[in-house]
Amino acid sequence: MGRLFGTDGVRGRANATLTPELALRLGRAAGIALAGESSHSAMIIGRDTRVSGDMLEAALAAGLCSSGVDVVSCGVCTTPAVAYLTRNGPFVAGIVISASHNPPPENGIKFFGHNGAKLPDATESMIETLVIGLQVSPDSQPRSERIGRYSFQPGLANSYADHCRNIASAGIAGMRIVVDGANGAGHRLNPGILESLGVIVTRIHCEGEGERINDGCGSTHPRSLQQALVEHRADLGAAFDGDGDRVILVDEKGRIVDGDHMLAIFGTHWADTDRLPGNVIVGTVMSNLGLEDCLRPRGVRLERASVGDRYVAELMRQTGAEVGGEKSGHIILSRHGATGDGLVTTLEIMEIMARTDRPLSDLAGTMTEYPQLLVAVRVSSREGWERNPDIAQAISRGERALEGTGRLLVRASGTESVIRVMAEGRDERLVRSVVEDIAGVVETALGGTV
């Protein structure tokens, strides 16, 4: 079966590699690993709008109930809402059925511990071992009253909405925002919360059509948001991904404000306050060099984690940082939760805009971004790519070319059959030349397409 868990849970093509049979076994294994011998422990499940979500939730819930775990479903619900409810409710764990920003035919299952954080590697390995080796016999299964029960409680998300409303002050009332809901989990929840705070919301891609989740919209496709922003003359735009744990903003001029710029805004305005203990922010190896240059004069240190929000969260715990995130817009503000939260990030940026009476373009302009190019090469398999001699030679050439003027990063995606090639530096032509050279070698060596 191979390794099930990637950097963000178990993912695959729904009803092909991610089957209801696998979901059932995952449910049974998770019940054993996370609930133990506790009688009628409860877990909460939320999902995005994908067509396969109903099927996978039913199978997963059946597996959990068969292991003696009560299942509470909040229906279509964002990842940060489920994480918040897990952390603040009577649940031993939380589960989200979503493939985040990935295309509609794919789906995923990710778990949160009772603290609202993603499971450590050791716990995921335990679940994986149980999935592979679990032998179910009639004598080992709970009987009668010990079998778990299933209930549907969509109103649970109201407490998360109240939490979000408590973050914002009255200063953001009257601000104009365009929300791109990616036809995903937050297509109703996020704009509804903003409107309850007096914000004037224009909705795009908020129909919640699971067949079109992330399809030409959302945080990975913000072009339509940029166009709508200028058309409606709004103060800012927010493009969420399919499960709502990340956001890409657009300023009033229609320009992208990514996660690096958001971290720069937080670092600039929270330096030397209790919002930024130790004056440290956690980014990733993909964070632009311009972020470091922006933070350094303010006395703020940037620590770099491996790519993946779980590694950002881990380094945040190690360094005591309360702010961390990725260029992709996955921002963790640990004061509010243990995982990324696109809506909370948006509210905090709006708060700074209101408090300083400055437009988003001005705030984001404090960071100058070095030319950076990222190419994703789709491959037949990412296994063993780093041992390919042709790829290794191409990387060495690129590192020599950029030495002293930039940096290079080549890595395999943790969730897709993709090799990502990223370079940045002061010379844009050199950056492009290096990336194109390496991407071409990867494509030739591994049979992929750029």
Q: In CATH, what number is assigned to the domain containing residue 378? A: 3.30.310.50
100 annotated active-site:
yes
If asked whether residues 151 and 128 sit together in one domain, one would say yes
Question: Which residues in 49-60 are b (16+ Cβ under 10 Å) and which e?
Answer: bbebbebbbebb
> Edge-to-edge strand order for the sheet containing 9-13?
5-6, 9-13, 106-113, 93-97, 42-47, 70-76, 150-152
Helical packing angle, 79-88 and 342-356, nearest 10°: 100
**Residue at 263 is within a domain:** yes
If asked whether residues 269 and 360 sit together in one domain, one would say yes
If asked whether residues 266 and 364 sit together in one domain, one would say yes
If asked whether residues 90 and 26 sit together in one domain, one would say yes
d(Cα 356, Cα 359) in Å, to the nearest integer?
Answer: 9
If asked whether residues 240 and 295 sit together in one domain, one would say no
Which among 52, 98, 100, 219 is annotated as catalytic? Answer: 100
If asked whether residues 415 and 279 sit together in one domain, one would say no
Tell me how many helices (H) and strands (E) the chain has. Answer: 14, 19
Per the listing, tokens 């499940």 go with 45
Q: Can you give the pLDDT at residue 145?
A: 73
If asked whether residues 276 and 218 sit together in one domain, one would say no
C-alpha distances (whole Å) from 159 to each of 89, 323, 332, 343 are 10, 23, 20, 15
Tell me which of 255, 286, 312 is where a domain ends. 255
If asked whether residues 37 and 149 sit together in one domain, one would say yes
Q: Give me 440's structure tokens.
A: 């071409």
**Residue at 319 is within a domain:** yes
Q: Can you give the pLDDT at residue 132?
A: 86
The angle at the Cα of 308, spanning 306 to 309, to the nearest 5 degrees, equals 115
**Residue at 127 is within a domain:** yes
Q: Can you give the pLDDT at residue 1?
A: 46
**Residue at 166 is within a domain:** no
DSSP 211: G
Domain CATH for 248: 3.40.120.10
**Residue at 167 is within a domain:** no
Counting the structural domains of the chain, the total is 4
If asked whether residues 140 and 270 sit together in one domain, one would say no
Contact at 8 Å (CB) between 198 and 172? yes
**Residue at 165 is within a domain:** no
Contacts of 403 (CB under 8 A, 6+ apart): none
pTM: 0.88
If asked whether residues 23 and 134 sit together in one domain, one would say yes
If asked whether residues 376 and 421 sit together in one domain, one would say yes
Tell me which of 205, 225, 255 is where a domain ends. 255
Tell me which of 157, 182, 211 is where a domain ends. 157
Upper half-sphere CA count for residue 194 (Cβ side, 13 Å): 31
**Residue at 135 is within a domain:** yes
If asked whether residues 283 and 297 sit together in one domain, one would say yes
**Residue at 32 is within a domain:** yes
User: In which domain, by residue range, is 239 found?
Assistant: 173-255
Divide the 450 residues of the chain into consecutive groups of 10 and give the mean pLDDT of each group: 80 96 96 78 97 98 95 98 96 97 96 94 93 68 81 96 91 97 98 97 96 96 96 97 97 97 98 97 92 95 93 96 97 96 98 97 95 93 91 96 90 87 93 97 83
Q: Is 131 helix (H, G, I), strand (E, B) or coil?
A: helix
